[in-house]
């Protein structure tokens, strides 16, 4: 089946044309069948045939809302994280799936197929809707014929219209909060990452935050990072907000369905948490409870779209109205350091289209690769539509750096970086020096809005590096005028 799936991607254009003809010819006959014997009986007849045909060609999982023509003939339901709108940030260096290393990433294949469709003049959709789980196991052919499958494609985003040049046009709201104002300013932004404690005592969290008081514009609170359990991100973010700090609430799709996440967004806003970073999340297999159930009801693009709809239109995903809209500033992540490299720009654009107005990257240890990524960002004008905040950090030894890619999905550490740290007796000090150098180098890159400083249990070293680099006093090259939406 895998061999045939690869064949289908290579022949995406032919199969798309066959599909279009099949729908044009077969839909009237299927409608007649539905009228004659009823929807359920028609599904019982057709679903096994569809499963045989599409299962053989595409390893189809019968979601009932086929998106193959929009995903280059690579079935997105095969993705272990149920990604509907592009690859996650944990794709392995050889293009393999983060969760199932013996399988090529479904979205790496999908992008190959999409390119073939684009070469034939068949455009890719801007976004694919989340799965309607009521239709799982049913025939998408019958659903289309019966009018029960609405389009999987979202044509526009909740808060965005487009001019002829393809740029977003927005009216900036006046009530921006501190972190949003910083992202719109012409100086460098600094954010730091804080892991919530394995404790019900908030003092452990506040002690970490105090190390960065006055050094950071906002503090990211991780949400079960690495698939490990800690104090909940929304609770920790609320504790920080109550104590005068500016949190960024990280919301992972791994552990909750769309109902829970929408409730958490309202709850966070009610508790004074204004900044939300939407993540797909690390897989549970990397954590200390690998037997846990994966949820992945949404991907990060879908979560962004739902969150921006709640904020802008005052509506839940169902269309039901909110009495008071959540006042939130939305962000997302990108990883320039894993395949498919060139296509990360399109995935970033999809997140910005869905409502992200600040972007934080994975750890940057490879400046050459990051420079190529920023060439693409600037060419697409994305740095004018969202604040690009680059992930940086330091570890205490060369050994820890060398092990990092195997422990943290999506991290790339070039060998020359490991060798540089290994050459020093005081490797912790060498790591700090490298971090300061990286901060200053990134500060000279046009389009970079700031730095996201990370390092597990290394708060004092990170704080010293922020001070030593002087980035808090620097202005951005060119001081770009960000045209960000709320």
Question: What is the C-alpha separation between 340 and 143, in angstroms, rounded?
Answer: 33
pLDDT tens figures, 384-410 = 999 999 999 988 899 999 999 988 889
> CA 165, 166, 167, 168 torsion: positive or negative?
positive
Specify which residues 247 forms β-bridges with.
219
Q: Band of the pLDDT at 458, cuts 50, 70, 90?
A: confident
Q: Of the candidates 340, 360, 412, which has an alpha carbon nearest to the alpha carbon of residue 216? A: 360
Other beta carbons within 10 Å of 218: 30
pLDDT surpasses 70 at 482 = no
Q: Out of 1-15, 58-72, 210-224, give the one with best mean pLDDT.
A: 210-224
pLDDT in the model for residue 152: 64
pLDDT in the model for residue 151: 59
Looking at 313-391, list the stretches that DSSP marks H as alpha helix, in order from N- to C-terminal side. 344-353, 367-379
Query: pTM of the entire structure?
Result: 0.92
pLDDT surpasses 80 at 163 = no
pLDDT in the model for residue 483: 54
Other beta carbons within 10 Å of 231: 19
The DSSP letter of residue 436 is H
Other beta carbons within 10 Å of 433: 17
β-pairing, 218-221 with 387-393?
unpaired
Q: Band of the pLDDT at 180, cuts 50, 70, 90?
A: very high
Phi, psi angles (nearest 5°) of residue 292: -65, 155
pLDDT in the model for residue 139: 94
Q: Tell me where in the chain the CATH 3.20.20.220 domain(s) lie.
A: 178-473
Question: What is the C-alpha separation between 320 and 315, in angstroms, rounded?
Answer: 6
Return the minimum-mean-pLDDT range out of 145-149, 225-229, 327-331, 422-426.
Answer: 145-149
Q: Band of the pLDDT at 147, cuts 50, 70, 90?
A: confident
Looking at 173-251, list the stretches that DSSP marks H as alpha helix, in order from N- to C-terminal side. 178-184, 203-211, 233-242
Tokens of 35: 């009228």
CATH of domain 178-473: 3.20.20.220
Q: Band of the pLDDT at 291, cuts 50, 70, 90?
A: very high
């Amino acid at each position: 089946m895998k061999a045939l799936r690869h064949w289908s991607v290579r022949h995406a254009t032919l199969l798309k044309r066959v599909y279009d003809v099949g729908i044009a010819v077969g839909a009237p006959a299927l409608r007649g069948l539905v009228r004659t014997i009823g929807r359920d009986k028609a599904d019982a007849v057709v679903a096994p045939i569809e499963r045989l045909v599409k299962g053989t060609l595409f390893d189809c999982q019968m979601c009932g809302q086929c998106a193959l023509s929009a995903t280059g003939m690579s079935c997105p339901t095969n993705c272990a994280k149920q990604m509907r709108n592009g690859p996650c940030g944990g794709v392995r260096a050889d293009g393999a799936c983060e969760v199932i290393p013996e399988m090529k990433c479904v979205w790496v294949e999908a992008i190959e197929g999409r390119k073939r469709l684009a070469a034939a003049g068949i455009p890719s959709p801007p976004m694919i809707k989340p799965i309607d789980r009521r239709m799982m196991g049913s025939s998408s052919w019958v659903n289309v014929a019966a009018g029960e499958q609405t389009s999987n494609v979202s044509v526009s985003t909740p808060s965005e219209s487009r001019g002829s040049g393809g740029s977003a046009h927005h009216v900036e709201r006046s009530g921006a909060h501190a972190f949003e104002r910083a992202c719109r300013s012409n100086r460098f932004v600094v954010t730091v990452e804080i892991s919530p404690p394995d404790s019900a005592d908030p003092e452990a969290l506040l002690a970490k935050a105090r190390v960065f008081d006055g050094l950071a514009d906002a503090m990211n609170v991780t949400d079960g990072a690495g698939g490990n359990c800690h104090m909940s991100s929304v609770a920790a973010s609320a504790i920080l907000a109550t104590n005068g700090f500016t949190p960024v609430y990280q919301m992972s799709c791994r552990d909750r369905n769309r109902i829970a996440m929408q409730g958490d967004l309202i709850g966070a806003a009610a508790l004074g948490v204004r900044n939300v970073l939407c993540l797909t999340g690390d897989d549970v297999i990397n954590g200390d409870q690998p037997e846990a159930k994966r949820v992945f009801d949404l991907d990060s693009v879908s979560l962004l779209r739902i969150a921006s709809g709640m904020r802008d239109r005052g509506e839940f995903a169902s269309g039901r109205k909110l009495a008071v809209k959540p006042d939130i500033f939305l962000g997302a992540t990108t990883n320039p350091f894993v395949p498919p490299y060139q296509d990360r720009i399109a995935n970033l654009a999809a997140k910005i289209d869905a409502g992200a107005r600040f972007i934080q990257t994975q750890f940057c240890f490879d400046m050459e690769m990051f420079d190529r990524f920023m060439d693409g960002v600037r060419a697409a004008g994305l740095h004018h539509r969202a604040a690009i905040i680059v992930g940086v950090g330091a570890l205490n030894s060369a050994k820890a750096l060398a092990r990092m890619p195997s422990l943290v999905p999506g991290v790339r550490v070039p060998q020359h970086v490991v060798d540089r740290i290994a050459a020093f007796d005081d490797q912790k000090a060498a790591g700090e020096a490298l971090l300061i150098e990286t901060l200053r180098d990134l500060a000279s890159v046009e389009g970079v809005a700031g730095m996201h400083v990370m390092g597990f249990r290394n708060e004092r070293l990170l704080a010293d590096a922020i001070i030593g680099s002087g980035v808090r006093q620097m202005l951005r090259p060119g001081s770009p005028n960000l045209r960000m939406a709320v």
